[in-house]
Chains A and B, each alone.
Chain A
Amino acid sequence: MEWSLDNSGSKYAASFSDEDGKLILSKLVGDSIEKPIPHISISRDEQPRRIIVELDGVSSFAYVVRSNDQWWIHFQGRIFVVNMHEPGSKDSSLSEGSLSAPMPGTILDVLVKAGQRVRKGQTLLVMEAMKMEHRIQAPKAGEVAIVHFEKGDRVDMGQNLVEIIE
């Protein structure tokens, strides 16, 4: 199994040694490169969705819940999401250059057309979801390859809206 966080595209694999149910991190490989590892071990707690994390000699609890292919973690007063990937799987969520609808909603306005150059942060589409407007902005500079929807169209979450090429 491989793991990734949303803030970087890196995929990791982790190995542990097992000491009576206490898992001690022994190796961490990120994008095929071995990474320096923290002193961390993890064991079960009496509560079903809580674990004991010992980091650099200090123990604390973390709450963990698996939801689809994500681990949701509450640790040290913060909430995090880690994505799971089957080894060798092609990662669809990272398909470069396409912008998908973040929510189900309606397209209110299309501000660009195919062939147009856009700068990073430029508003491409305006969507309405939950009665509020959301601007879909270019994540990088490039050229608009395809706009999949027109003003007034309904879109589902995750549908590709616009494709941008370098």
Chain B
Amino acid sequence: MFPDWMNEAPSPFDSVLVANRGEIAVRILKAAKESGLRGIAVFSDPDADSLHVEIADEAIHLQGSSLSETYLNIDAIISAARESGAQAIHPGYGFLSERADFAKAVQESEIVWIGPSPASIQTMGDKISARRRMIESNVPIIPGEELAIEYGTNPLGVLASSAARVGYPLLVKASAGGGGKGMRAVHEPKMLRTEYEAAAREASAAFGDGTVYVERLLTGSRHVEIQVLCDKYGNSVHLNERDCSLQRRHQKVIEEAPSPAVNSEIRDAMGTAAIRAAKAVNYEGAGTVEFLLTPKGEFYFLEMNTRLQVEHPVTELITGIDLVQKQFEVAAGLPLEISQNNIGITGHSIEARIYAEDVSKGFLPAIGKLAMWKPPSNPGVRLDSGFREGDEVTIDFDPMLAKLIVHAPTRSAALRRLDSALSEFVVLGVTTNIGFLRDIALSEAFSEGLVTTDFLDNISLDKFLEPKIDDSVLISISAASSRLGLGRNSSSENLDNFVDEYSGHSDDPFRTLKRSFP
């Protein structure tokens, strides 16, 4: 049974398999349910009890222990789709989402692929071919040099002469990199070797390909990206920009829309360039064109992400457009039916990425059991997460626990809302960056909208790590909690002795009469 909205579609589907895990799998499975589609999850052993498996209509187990046997295993995912009768596959982000061979395998299995064509993915996925295509299409690119080096050969001579021509400071990037992996800044020639080797190692560990190239590092710039949506009939719109300048080692930390550095003139110019970029590869579906915006207002193409982006919710909140639903519609062959004139900006939205990491130990990933997990819930607050209380945070996967997204009429109201929501978020048992996110959001540079991509790498974090409450108070709370016997029942190992979250009582029916609503 196809849902009603699919009636006129040339390639309708009634079910979608989500080839992913964690928060994005949850996001897409919920969208599927809302749209009347049967949602099918896949999971590997460590995810057997995960939230995305729980909410799916059906879940298919992927055998094996490594990622390449499970979430990166094209054959296993195609057979999971066959086994479950899935008529479409959504790849999410990461994993196989930008693998042209996966898109091709899905299409050859006569399953609807929710994403752009394999050729679009291929062209944009290789930084060198993407750059060439952008030059042909009159999209401005960063000064740099095309240089392909195969991992395993000794590339230092070629690399050094290329670096000298491009000029320092520069970025060494793995062509197959992404998400901050396989990309290193080199500030002086003597660091070239060390940083190149680190980039090559990271890229080959994460992506199985160590190709590298070199480009000029534009300091003091912002990372601004344009969301585009294209259908199969040549209609393309852009959904304004997202500013992702707050990064740590090229990993985004806080994103917002609109950008405090973009006026309507820059927005129009960037939007037009982004659509040109998308059209240059006959793009279909939702995609993101990333630019560097210099202090002078010039912008340069960085790359196109041919998939849904982690930070897509900020765009959804300011435009009111559900990007996952649009992806379903485009994949089914429906026309966009949105014109550029009808896309506005309502208010301001900010997303903070909550990571299991210890900021005071150099942002080291943290592990443990989420002994308490109480997300904030207020008007204008959205939480996208794949975790629940009691879940174990392990080293098996990415340390992102959740995305906290706020929406408010103005940027300053959104900042207040973010701070308030972060302060109410109770996560105990696993170290997170929540306190750090509050400090950064409240910092002068961020609250005035002045942050550039090198901000976090250039400031001292020590001032953020000062204890906020006197030791004597914390010692008192702990000692008193022990004396009050609070540690005994809640030592999260014992889930049999479940205590109602809200009433505070266990299963005695009479005691629930005293239920209190905080």
Chain A interface residues toward B at CB < 8 A: 1, 3, 5-8, 10, 12-14, 16, 21, 23, 25, 28, 35-38, 40, 42-51, 53, 55, 62-67, 71-82, 84, 102-105, 108, 126, 128-135, 137, 157
Q: Determine whether B449 belongs to the interface, using a CB cutoff of 8 Å to chain A.
A: no
* Distance A51 CA – B374 CA, assembled complex (angstroms): 15
The residue from A21, A47, A126 contacting B518, defined by CB atoms under 8 A apart: A47
Q: Which of B368-419 contact A (CB under 8 A)?
A: 368-369, 371-372, 374, 395, 397-399
* Distance A128 CA – B397 CA, assembled complex (angstroms): 13
CB pair B478–A73 under 8 Å, yes or no, is yes
* Distance A63 CA – B372 CA, assembled complex (angstroms): 9
CB pair B198–A133 under 8 Å, yes or no, is yes
Q: Determine whether B266 belongs to the interface, using a CB cutoff of 8 Å to chain A.
A: no
CB pair B475–A3 under 8 Å, yes or no, is yes
Q: A47-B518, A77-B423, A80-B474 in contact; A42/B484 too (CB < 8 A)? A: yes
CB pair B479–A77 under 8 Å, yes or no, is no
Least Cβ distance of B438 to chain A in Å?
7
The residue from A13, A14, A45, A130 contacting B399, defined by CB atoms under 8 A apart: A130
Q: Determine whether B499 belongs to the interface, using a CB cutoff of 8 Å to chain A.
A: yes
Least Cβ distance of B352 to chain A in Å?
14
Least Cβ distance of B252 to chain A in Å?
14
* Interchain residue pairs with CB less than 8 A apart (16): A7-B467, A16-B480, A16-B483, A25-B476, A40-B472, A53-B473, A53-B477, A55-B473, A65-B490, A67-B491, A71-B482, A78-B435, A82-B478, A103-B365, A103-B367, A132-B202
CB pair A71–B206 under 8 Å, yes or no, is no
- Interface 9-residue window, one of B153-161, B323-331, B425-433: B425-433
Q: A77-B424, A78-B469 in contact; A51/B480 too (CB < 8 A)? A: yes
A-side contacts of B424, CB under 8 Å: 77
Q: A28-B476, A67-B428 in contact; A23/B365 too (CB < 8 A)? A: no
CB pair A14–B475 under 8 Å, yes or no, is yes
* Distance A134 CA – B482 CA, assembled complex (angstroms): 36
* Distance A1 CA – B481 CA, assembled complex (angstroms): 12
Q: Determine whether B219 belongs to the interface, using a CB cutoff of 8 Å to chain A.
A: no
B-side contacts of A84, CB under 8 Å: 478, 482
Least Cβ distance of B136 to chain A in Å?
34
Write out, one digit per residue, whether chain B residues 496-510 have a CB within 8 A of any chain A CB (1) or not (0): 000100111100000
CB pair A16–B477 under 8 Å, yes or no, is no
* Distance A45 CA – B479 CA, assembled complex (angstroms): 16
* Distance A2 CA – B502 CA, assembled complex (angstroms): 32
Q: Determine whether B486 belongs to the interface, using a CB cutoff of 8 Å to chain A.
A: yes
Write out, one digit per residue, whether chain B residues 125-150 have a CB within 8 A of any chain A CB (1) or not (0): 00000000000000000000000000
B-side contacts of A43, CB under 8 Å: 484
Chain B: CB-nearest residue to A127: B364
A-side contacts of B198, CB under 8 Å: 126, 133
A-side contacts of B321, CB under 8 Å: none
CB pair A103–B435 under 8 Å, yes or no, is no
Interface residues contributed by chain B, number (CB under 8 Å):
66
* Distance A126 CA – B224 CA, assembled complex (angstroms): 32
Q: A1-B482, A12-B475, A38-B472 in contact; A46/B365 too (CB < 8 A)? A: no
Known: A35-B472, A131-B205. 16 other contacts (CB 8 A): A1-B482, A7-B467, A10-B471, A14-B475, A42-B476, A49-B490, A51-B477, A65-B372, A74-B426, A74-B428, A75-B477, A108-B201, A129-B365, A134-B362, A135-B362, A137-B362
CB pair B483–A72 under 8 Å, yes or no, is no
A-side contacts of B487, CB under 8 Å: 66, 71
* Distance A157 CA – B361 CA, assembled complex (angstroms): 14
Q: Determine whether B492 belongs to the interface, using a CB cutoff of 8 Å to chain A.
A: yes
CB pair A5–B361 under 8 Å, yes or no, is no
Q: A67-B428, A73-B477, A133-B198 in contact; A80/B469 too (CB < 8 A)? A: yes
CB pair A66–B490 under 8 Å, yes or no, is yes
Chain A: CB-nearest residue to B516: A46
* Distance A164 CA – B474 CA, assembled complex (angstroms): 32
The residue from B371, B395, B474 contacting A129, defined by CB atoms under 8 A apart: B395
Ranked 10 nearest A-B pairs via Cβ: A77-B423, A66-B487, A72-B428, A42-B480, A14-B479, A71-B478, A82-B478, A47-B504, A65-B371, A65-B428
Q: A3-B478, A23-B480, A79-B428 in contact; A40/B473 too (CB < 8 A)? A: yes
CB pair A51–B492 under 8 Å, yes or no, is no
Chain B: CB-nearest residue to A45: B504
Chain B: CB-nearest residue to A108: B201
Chain B: CB-nearest residue to A36: B472
Q: A71-B481, A103-B395, A104-B395 in contact; A48/B489 too (CB < 8 A)? A: yes
Q: Determine whether B470 belongs to the interface, using a CB cutoff of 8 Å to chain A.
A: yes
CB pair A23–B367 under 8 Å, yes or no, is no
A-side contacts of B479, CB under 8 Å: 1, 3, 13-14, 16
